């Protein structure tokens, strides 16, 4: 069963190019570890909420944009093995470089696909 890691973060609005370059590097790393697809999306219609919302979840500041990303894996076992390899290889962080956003405000999780292609 396909497994998906999802992520939402706040990125400086003037840092779109840096984010795209970082995402390309990260996508290549995840694919080298067994991911089948990596998708990154730049927020355009992401409303502020009063009780809950993407902007509230990542404590988005005025000068930031919400990004939404996911990594697809062929199975949870492939995902777990990929993440273990990621965490065990210190060169991964050198290849990725510095994150162009505040990773402390990123939200993420792993999900079993239950509906969809």
- Which class is 3-95 in CATH? alpha beta
Taking only the tens place, the pLDDT of each residue in 89-117 is 989 888 899 999 999 999 999 999 999 87
* Residue 33, SS3 per DSSP: coil
Taking only the tens place, the pLDDT of each residue in 18-40 is 999 999 999 999 999 999 999 99
Domains of the chain, residue spans:
3-95
The enclosing H or E element of 2 equals none
In the predicted model, is pLDDT for residue 14 greater than 90? yes
**pLDDT confidence tier of residue 1, bands split at 50, 70 and 90:** confident
CA dihedral 22, 101, 67, 70 (to 10 degrees): 50
Taking only the tens place, the pLDDT of each residue in 35-75 is 999 999 999 999 999 999 999 999 999 999 999 999 999 99
Cα–Cα distance, 50 to 53 (Å, whole number): 8
Taking only the tens place, the pLDDT of each residue in 79-88 is 999 999 999 9
pTM here is 0.91
Matching residue, tokens 């994150």: 99
């Amino acid at each position: 069963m396909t497994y998906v890691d999802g992520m939402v973060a706040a990125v400086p609005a003037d840092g779109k190019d840096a984010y795209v370059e970082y995402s390309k590097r990260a996508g290549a790393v995840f694919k080298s570890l067994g991911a089948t697809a990596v998708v990154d999306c730049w927020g355009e219609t992401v409303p502020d909420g009063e009780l809950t919302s993407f902007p509230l979840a990542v404590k988005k500041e005025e000068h930031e944009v919400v990004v939404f990303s996911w990594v697809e894996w062929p199975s949870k076992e492939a995902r777990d093995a990929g993440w273990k390899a990621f965490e065990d290889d210190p060169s991964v962080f050198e290849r990725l470089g510095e994150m162009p956003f505040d990773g402390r405000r990123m939200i993420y999780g792993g999900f079993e696909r239950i509906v969809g292609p």
